[in-house]
Amino acid sequence: MSGGGCLWVQMSSPGAARSALGQNHLQRVIVVVGSTGVGKSKLGVEVAAALGGEVVNADAMHVYRGLDVTTNKTLPSQMGGVRHHVMDVVDAGEENFSVVQWRALADAAVRDIAARGRVPVVVGGTGYYVTSLLERRATEGEGGAPDGGGDDAGWAWIAGLGPAEAHARLQEADPDMAAKLHPNDGRKVRRALESVLRHGVKLSDAYRARVLAPPGAADAGPGRPAALAFAPPEMRYRPLVLWVHCAPETLDGALEARVGAMLGDGLEAEVRALDAQHGSREFTRGLLQSIGVREFLGDGRASTATGEAAANALVGHHKRLARRQVKFLGQLGGPRHPWPVHRLDATRPHALALAERHGLSRPLGGDGVDGGEAGAGQVAESVQAAWNRDVRDPAVALARRFVAGEDVVVPEGEGEGVRGPDARAWASLFTVHTCEACGGRTFRGDGEWAAHTHSRKHKKRAAAAARRNAKRPRV
């Protein structure tokens, strides 16, 4: 660990370093990522303010107008005078806004910011937005236009397909990808269908070409067979990635407090006002995907949920989202996404903030014990001081060097290597499992299947099925 609370995350293979050598001609961008509730929006504003930069939003829900409390959108009062782009640009009722459309807006914003001599700072936790901006996809045309350019209007019918119909069409066009994707995952299914019908590229083939690269195509890394190596992606920008991280137990407490504050700020009223205006129950599209909408509007069978039940569900869903985001972020710097990633540990300031809420002078657990009651100003000052020391100051220092043209790479031998995904998991991504105990539900990939079989609900149903079978007379 280096000083200032910054963990250096090492690019895990020489292939990653080689891929960076060809990036000298690319536009430099600072990218701030992290799980929900960790403080990435705050850091993005601070870095942009310190460097004379402007923020490009990379949160899929913040592109929509509305649900500011529910999506925890950065408000004008929190922007510190820093201009924000690609935020509040899509109507709340729009259900078909795509990552391709977002990337076109983000590209234009980055060009505009750079042309005016300012620094682009991309901020957000939507992983597929960030990767689509930084890496060139297999479905892009030779000219580099997003997904080959062309007449978007002529393909709008795909966005209008329901999940079942889209999956049925994908089954015909790309059976392997259809087997991998759940029929209810409408967004990914439609994207895979558009790729094969519009661009003639089966995502299953493109995926295998990258993940199952031939021996020698890239360095597999320690303990990984060469046949499962990742071919380094072609980069669209030269990034400096700042990952704001927090210990899971501490972040859980921060998320509980955050949800409580959101409810106090009118989250439920905001959601019900949106429902009264639009009345949609398409929870897998558009702004209605936001955590907080389904919890209060029900699942289509019920129109309301009790306040306590909805609040508990909100907390659980935010925690699960944070875990998924950390899982994705753990791949950054590895062979799949060989970007220079610098991890900033925000655990201490979040722990101090929790102590303040509990009226304690020290953090609970880990960093100390209950030191008794404290004045509000005392702990609040410590929270800001800890944030500045562990997060803001090292991030700004790294960003200044990067903007000045320095290669802010991860030194050999320092920090933690970020592992790519487990080889066995990649090899079994297309395996379909059926759970008879849970009513014939299907699961794609061994990872999804393992998560299901270890869940409390499955174990309860499996035990009940076993008891029923034991009572049946043997023939």
pLDDT value of residue 221: 44
User: Radius of gyration over alpha carbons of the chain, in Å?
Assistant: 23
DSSP assignment letter at 444 = E
Phi and psi, residue 397, nearest 5° = -60, -45
Q: What is the largest CA-CA distance in the chain?
A: 82
3 state DSSP class of 243: strand
pLDDT for res 439: 87
DSSP 8-state secondary structure symbol assigned to residue 392: I
Angle at 463 between CA 457 and CA 467, to 5 degrees: 145
CB 9 within 8 A of CB 415: yes
What is the per-residue pLDDT for 43?
98
Report d(CA 475, CA 54) in Å as an integer.
Answer: 74
DSSP code at position 220? -
Confidence at residue 144, expressed as pLDDT on a 0 to 100 scale: 38
Single-letter amino acid code for the residue at 45:
V
- Check residue 231 and give its pLDDT: 54
Rounded to whole angstroms, how far apart are CA atoms 456 and 458? 6
pLDDT for 208 equals: 66
Q: pLDDT value at position 24? A: 59
How many other C-beta atoms are found inside a 10 Å radius of the C-beta of residue 125?
26
∠ CA 158-128-133, nearest 5°, is 100
Residue 315's CB is within 10 A of a number of other CB atoms, namely 19
How far lies 79's CA from each of 43, 44, 46, 83, 241, in Å?
A: 11, 9, 9, 7, 20
> Cβ(251)–Cβ(348) under 8 Å?
no
* Rounded alpha-carbon distances, angstroms, from residue 407 to 73, 233, 250, 404, 463: 33, 19, 33, 9, 57
Provide the 3-class DSSP secondary structure of residue 249: helix
Going by their DSSP bridges, the two strands 416-417 and 6-10 should be labelled as: parallel
Q: What is the DSSP letter of 391?
A: I
For residues 448 and 362, the answer to whether their CB atoms sit within 8 Å is no
Tokens of 402: 């990067």
Chunk the chain into consecutive blocks of 10 residues (it has 475) and report each block's average pLDDT, rounded to whole numbers. 40 39 74 95 98 97 94 94 96 86 95 97 94 74 39 66 87 88 84 81 70 45 40 82 94 92 92 84 79 77 58 90 90 79 93 82 46 46 89 96 83 39 43 84 73 86 88 70
Q: In this predicted structure, what is the pLDDT of residue 137?
A: 62
Q: Are 391 and 43 in contact (CB under 8 A)?
A: yes
Q: Can you give 61-105 as a three-state secondary structure string?
A: CCCECCCCCCCCCCCHHHCCCCCEECCCCECCCCCCCCHHHHHHH
**DSSP assigned state of 196:** H
- C-alpha torsion sign, points 193, 199, 201, 203: negative
Q: Distances in Å between the alpha carbon of 310 and those of 82, 92, 178, 283, 297? A: 35, 22, 33, 16, 9
Cα-based torsion angle of the residue sequence 380, 385, 391, 392 in order, rounded to the nearest 10 degrees: 100
DSSP string, 311-329: HHHHHHHHHHHHHHHHHHH
Contact 432, 442 (CB under 8 A): yes
